Amino acid sequence: MEKWRSIAVGMSCLSMLFAAGAITASASDEITEIPEQSIVYWSMWEEDEPQADVIKEAAQAYEEATGISVEIQWKGRGIQSLIGPALDAGEQIDLFDDDYQRMAQEHKEYLAELEEMADTVDYENHIMPVLLEQVEGWGNGELLAMPYQPYIAGVWYNKDLWEEAGLTEQDIPDTWEKLIRVCRKIKNSDSGLSAMTCDEEYVNLLYGYQLARYLGQEKVQQLIRNCTWSQIPEAKQAAADIRTLFLAGYMSEIAPAQHPDGQNEVGDGEAIMVVQGSWIPNEVTEATGSDDSWGFFPWPAVKDGADGTEGVMIGAQGFGVTKDSQMKQEAFDFAYSICTGETDMKMTEAVNSIPADTDNTQWPEVLADAVPYMEEMSKPYMWAAGLEADTDYKEQIQSELLKLTRLEETSDEFIENLSSMK
């Protein structure tokens, strides 16, 4: 019940006011109906997704405990472009969620600072330290989002198909040269399988990882902010590397595919590897009905690169309370109930995700191969390893990456076009 502390305190104060005569009996008699209170929550999930089931249950529990309803509008991933215009137009929204980096960077003007409320429940000790450090860093020291459903991004692969192509655990690559060797072995096998696949919206993970391996994430961000593409040889080399995956036939013929057609190839027995977040085993299993085993390894290192496999993309979704909300404490309490404790574990079990609450230490079995890499990670990468550092520029980068991976332009043209965009 600690989660509903603020509500209980409010009710206690009301009781004391009646007892002390601050509200007279006659005045109270005139109150025929207590106005209904509600939290308006815009969700990044679709109503038919398993995350929604967990959130609905949490909303019902919250209402039963407090008498305050949670009015949920299921907006899906399009929330990232819907939330700003809605709030600008004066729409009543108390709580919303999105990628936690996007929350703290792109939506920050709409968000309330949460530290004071967080301190009362010792919330920061329930957050993975690396996630807390990142979200406060993006918020210039302010806690603007509450991370939940953490993820680790890297190369996820179908273990059954891996073996079918004649590969073993000893073949798991930790360098770019070894990854190419694995891809070549798969292509030359009799399996008929594609070595890798990808969807259009995630090609930035491929290039972001490769570029960060050469430069390190900080220099990737500097490159983008300063638009020094033509001055950094590694930028062109990383583009050439990724283009090779498509040109040499190591990628599926449909890649980059319309989401989720590419990633579903791994469950449909057509492709072995995909670079994605740790939600991918659950999404593919739900979409394809596959019961194959999943493996994981970080994006491999490049020769003479700044970073190796100790650099890993990690992140989370995040709840944010709107700064103009009249229900800030209540919205925080509801979000806190999802990010911690029993409901956090229900989310973990429902979608095979990493627990958000540090008190919940049991990872789903399907993600077991990622555990040691998370523990050994010493260089946390943000989404796309810094490619989205300039929010006004990321769509242009994405557009050029699609041309590159569709073999519509060379690595030279890729660099030339990016150099002229800013």
Residue 387: CB partners within 8 Å, gap ≥ 6?
204, 207, 208, 211, 220, 224, 394, 397
CATH label of the domain that carries residue 36: 3.40.190.10
Residues 45 and 178 in one domain: no
User: How confident is the model at residue 334, as a pLDDT?
Assistant: 98
Residues 411 and 351 in one domain: no
The range of the structural domain enclosing residue 268 comes to 153-313+372-419
Residues 59 and 145 in one domain: yes
pLDDT in tens, 48-85: 999 999 999 999 999 999 999 999 999 999 999 999 99
Residues 175 and 216 in one domain: yes
pLDDT in tens, 94-115: 999 999 999 999 999 999 999 9
Sign of CA dihedral 64, 66, 68, 72: negative
User: How confident is the model at residue 376, as a pLDDT?
Assistant: 87
User: How confident is the model at residue 247, as a pLDDT?
Assistant: 99
9 has a pLDDT exceeding 90: no
Under the banding of pLDDT at 50, 70 and 90, the label for residue 260 is: very high
SS3 396: helix
Across 141-150, average pLDDT: 97
User: How confident is the model at residue 32, as a pLDDT?
Assistant: 34
User: How confident is the model at residue 362, as a pLDDT?
Assistant: 93
Which residues are 285's β-sheet partners? none
Cβ(243)–Cβ(409) under 8 Å?
Answer: no
7 has a pLDDT exceeding 70: no
Residues 267 and 250 in one domain: yes
More confident residue, 71 or 31: 71
Residue 88: CB partners within 8 Å, gap ≥ 6?
none
Across 343-362, average pLDDT: 95
User: How confident is the model at residue 421, as a pLDDT?
Assistant: 80
User: How confident is the model at residue 221, as a pLDDT?
Assistant: 95
Entry pTM: 0.84
14 has a pLDDT exceeding 80: no
Residues 292 and 401 in one domain: yes
Cα 373 to its chain centre, rounded Å, is 18
SS3 418: helix
Count the Cβ atoms, other than its own, within 10 Å of residue 61.
17
The domain total for the chain is 2
DSSP one-letter code for 233: H
Residues 408 and 378 in one domain: yes
Residues 173 and 109 in one domain: no
393 has a pLDDT exceeding 80: yes
229 has a pLDDT exceeding 50: yes
pLDDT in tens, 135-145: 999 999 999 99
CA atoms within 13 A on the CB side of 3: 21
Cβ(93)–Cβ(110) under 8 Å?
Answer: no
Residues 258 and 336 in one domain: no
User: How confident is the model at residue 324, as a pLDDT?
Assistant: 97
18 has a pLDDT exceeding 70: no
Residues 57 and 134 in one domain: yes
